[in-house]
């Protein structure tokens, strides 16, 4: 096999769930039938990788310093929802009628992986809680062991800033990831969140 082809297949394997066989199928498909779109894919990939950064307020993906959600004047600034990743933010946006703002941890407390408060941007979060505008902190970390430990820590941060912490309720299976919960269940869990104090 040509070196360029081998390189392409190897590169495609960085995608989640893509093994050697799928990567090879994708590479052949693009070369055989879809070069135009393959080029568009390459362009979009390059531009996104270079230009998408993280919002300076909520850490979500953004190509501007402050993302459109944070800049929006129609979002409720008294409620802040903390999620582990941009994927979960998107799931909540799609499944619920939530109109507040977000904070994205880009991980969860996991000392073994070197993820502590600093890596999760918790100083930035504390700063926001201290601004005095936020009344409720909705903690939407995943119901895994690490997600629960993170939730506990976040609730303490909220209380220290006189902000009411709440946690997503029933329906989200223990050990599950919000990303994979169906919309109805997520909407219900979000709507019937429970106060943690």
Q: Over 36-95, what HEC string results?
A: HHHHHHHHHHHHHHHHCEECCCCCCEECCCCCHHHHCCCCEEEEEEEECCHHHHHHHHHH
- In the bound state with Zn ion, the residue whose beta carbon lies nearer, of 59 and 167, is 59
Q: Pattern 61-100, binding to Zn ion, x per CB under 5 A? A: ------x--x------------------------------
In whole angstroms, the minimum distance from the beta carbon of 50 to Zn ion comes to 20
CB of 74 to Zn ion, least distance (A): 14
Among 9, 58, 155, 158, binds Zn ion (CB under 5 A): 58
What is the CA 86 to chain-centroid distance, rounded? 2
CA 129 → CA 27, 43, 59, 68, 146, distances in Å? 48, 39, 15, 20, 22
Name the residue nearer to Zn ion (CB basis): 70 or 139.
70
Q: Work out whether 55 is an interface residue with Zn ion (CB under 5 A).
A: yes
Which one, 55 or 109, has the nearer CB to Zn ion?
Answer: 55
């Amino acid at each position: 096999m040509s070196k360029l082809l081998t390189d392409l297949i190897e590169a495609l394997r960085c995608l989640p769930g893509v093994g050697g066989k799928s990567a090879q199928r994708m590479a052949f498909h693009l070369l055989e039938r879809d070069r135009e779109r393959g080029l568009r894919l390459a362009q979009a990939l390059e531009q996104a990788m270079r230009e998408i950064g993280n919002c300076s307020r909520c850490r979500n993906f953004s190509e501007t310093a402050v993302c459109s959600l944070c800049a929006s004047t129609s979002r409720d600034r008294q409620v802040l929802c903390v999620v582990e990743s941009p994927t979960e933010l998107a799931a909540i946006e799609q499944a619920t009628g939530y109109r507040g703002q977000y904070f994205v941890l880009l991980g969860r407390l996991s000392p073994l992986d070197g993820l502590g408060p600093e890596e999760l941007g918790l100083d930035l979060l504390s700063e926001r809680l201290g601004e005095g505008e936020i009344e409720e902190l909705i903690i939407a970390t995943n119901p895994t062991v690490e997600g629960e430990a993170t939730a506990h820590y976040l609730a303490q941060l909220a209380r220290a800033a006189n902000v009411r912490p709440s946690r997503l309720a029933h329906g989200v299976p223990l050990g599950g990831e919000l990303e994979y919960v169906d919309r109805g269940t997520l909407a219900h869990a979000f709507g019937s969140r429970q106060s943690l104090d």
